[in-house]
């Protein structure tokens, strides 16, 4: 598929504004009342997704194919394996690891599983890929080069999670962000990245968590 050229100036403005909005939204999402966490997270996803498709019109033309589903499933499987091992390491070497991981999984008890699957699969995961690896990383790559752009996008994605105060979550987000940014730099198609994020989120958080919440 031939992408329509994005206006570099407009794209940069949307990327900068979207990043600032993301940091504010992440702080509000993770620091606000816990009972409405998923409502705020969904709104954050909608904002980031809108910024992405408004800032980079080439993202509007991305269409998934069967090959993208296969690639996405393979990526998600690989990430799950990495995170299963990482979970065990975090519990052993980080004093707060078990508590941090428990805090993350406690969020799945706030809403019905089917509702969370819809929120994660249809809004949160696609929006994160379209914004962080789409609009933002492409903007940075244009200015800094492919790999420096990927590294900068990874740092900004991980940095957005600092507000959580959860070292395990910050590390996990940075690791996953590095993987997706690296794949984006290698020109893995956006639909494959989106599908991998959707599958991974639902699998590791709802279907087969690295630890069953107590």
d(CA 214, CA 212): 6
Q: What is the pLDDT of residues 34-67, one digit of tens each?
A: 999 999 999 999 999 999 999 998 998 888 899 9
pTM score of the predicted model: 0.90
Task: Yes or no: say if 164 and 170 are a contact pair by the CB < 8 Å rule.
Answer: yes
d(CA 177, CA 154): 5
d(CA 213, CA 103): 9
d(CA 128, CA 157): 9
Give the pLDDT confidence score for residue 214 in this predicted structure: 45
Q: Which of helix, strand or coil describes residue 7? A: coil
Mean pLDDT, the chain, whole residue set: 90
Nearest to residue 108, comparing CAs of 206, 7, 212, 6?
206
* Strongest mean pLDDT among 7-11, 78-82, 88-92: 78-82
Task: Yes or no: say if 130 and 197 are a contact pair by the CB < 8 Å rule.
Answer: no
Furthest C-alpha separation in the chain? 50
């Amino acid at each position: 598929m031939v992408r329509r050229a994005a206006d570099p100036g407009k794209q940069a403005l949307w990327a900068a504004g979207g990043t600032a909005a993301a940091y504010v939204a992440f702080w509000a999402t993770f620091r606000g009342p816990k009972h409405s966490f998923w409502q705020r997270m969904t709104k954050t996803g909608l904002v980031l997704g809108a910024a992405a498709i408004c800032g980079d019109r080439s993202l509007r033309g991305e269409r998934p194919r069967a090959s993208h589903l296969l690639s996405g499933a393979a990526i998600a499987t690989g990430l799950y394996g990495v995170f299963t091992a990482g979970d065990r390491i975090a519990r052993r070497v980080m004093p707060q690891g078990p508590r941090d991981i428990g805090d993350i999984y406690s969020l799945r008890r706030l809403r019905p599983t089917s509702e969370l699957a819809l929120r994660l699969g249809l809004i949160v995961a696609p929006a994160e890929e379209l914004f962080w690896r789409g609009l933002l990383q492409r903007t940075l790559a244009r200015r800094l080069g492919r790999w420096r752009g990927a590294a900068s996008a990874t740092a900004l994605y991980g940095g957005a999670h600092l507000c959580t105060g959860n070292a395990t979550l910050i590390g996990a987000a940075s690791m996953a962000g590095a993987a997706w940014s690296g794949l984006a730099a290698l020109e893995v198609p956006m639909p494959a990245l989106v599908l991998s994020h959707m599958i991974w989120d639902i699998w590791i958080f709802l279907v087969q968590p690295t630890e069953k919440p107590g």
